[in-house]
Amino acid sequence: MKIHFLGTAAAEGFPNPFCRCETCRKARSAGGKNIRTRSSILIDGVTKVDYSADSHMQALRDQIDMAAIEHLLFTHTHYDHFQPWELYNRTEGYALGIDHPLHIYGNDAAINQSLITLGPAAGDRLAFHLLRPFESITLGDMRVTPLLANHDPMETCLLFFIEKGGKTLFYGHDTGWLPDDTWKWLEGKDIDMAILDCTHSYTKNDRNPNHMGIETVLEVQRVLREQSILQSNSLVYVTHITHNSGFLHEDFESVFEPHGIKVAYDSLIVDL
């Protein structure tokens, strides 16, 4: 699998264009890996996880052929992950040369809102599929199992366990400490690469709900290793970072490097 990090920021982007805090000012000045757009990944050029308002810019920046994408997985309907209105640009009359439908997957809220927004214009360009936690689906040669996140108590937010070509990817944000049912499902599994939420820096709470910080990430890594779900050669990346953390890219790197955890950044590509 080729995992392409299109964006690695939390909801407001990093820096937040409306913010004058010291961290945002430093990020603007430093540039490079400190400039983060809203979180999304692209797998093997054909499967995208989440669709933010930054997707257009990300495609231009990284020369992504958006028409080649076959599958779109939504984790939940918060605005930084869910912008179905943007998919009008793929419908008849807006895009030419489309030769296959885009299959859209999500919880009931995501699919219902997508149908309301796009249904009348979908034609044969868009297809909609309801996901249920712990029920696996097949996307070509990829197997995807939606898992429960600990994020918004008013929505069934999802994480994804993705298997392809003998490799496994755990897409683990937006979430705080994992729900018990997710921990139980992961028992006996092997994770080759884990992408974990690190919205915050230090939170003084290693079981922080909604999002993870440094303490929670390290605790999740510890438990995954103790249960032999993560092996010594497994990769762990953190993403979904907010300017409210007060940390720049190098600050997170200095904390996580001793633990073998890498800090994702926009346009990073990892071959798994």
Note the pLDDT of residue 5.
98
> In whole angstroms, what is the distance from residue 141 CA to residue 163 CA?
9
Burial of 153 (0-12, 13-18, 19+ CB in 10 A): exposed
Is the confidence at residue 77, as pLDDT, over 70?
yes
Residue-level pLDDT at 272: 96
Domain residues for 73? 2-271
Name the pLDDT band for 206 (thresholds 50, 70, 90): low
**pTM, full prediction:** 0.96
Number of domains in the chain: 1
Predicted pLDDT of residue 183: 98
Q: What is the pLDDT of residue 208?
A: 60
The predicted pLDDT at position 203 comes to 77
Tell me what pLDDT residue 250 has.
Answer: 98
Tokens for 184, please give them.
């139980």
Mean per-residue pLDDT over the chain, rounded: 96
Assess whether pLDDT exceeds 70 at residue 171: yes
Say which CATH number the domain at 140 has: 3.60.15.10
> In this predicted structure, what is the pLDDT of residue 204?
64
Q: What is the mean pLDDT of residues 194-204?
A: 91
Which residue, 242, 172, 238, is CA-closest to 200? 242
Specify the long-range contacts of residues 258-261, CB closer than 8 Å, at least 24 apart: 259/218, 259/221, 260/236, 261/217, 261/218, 261/221, 261/236, 261/237
Listed residue (164, 198, 154, 166) closest to 71, CA to CA: 164
Give the pLDDT band of residue 207 (cuts 50, 70, 90). Answer: low
Band (46; pLDDT cuts 50, 70, 90): very high
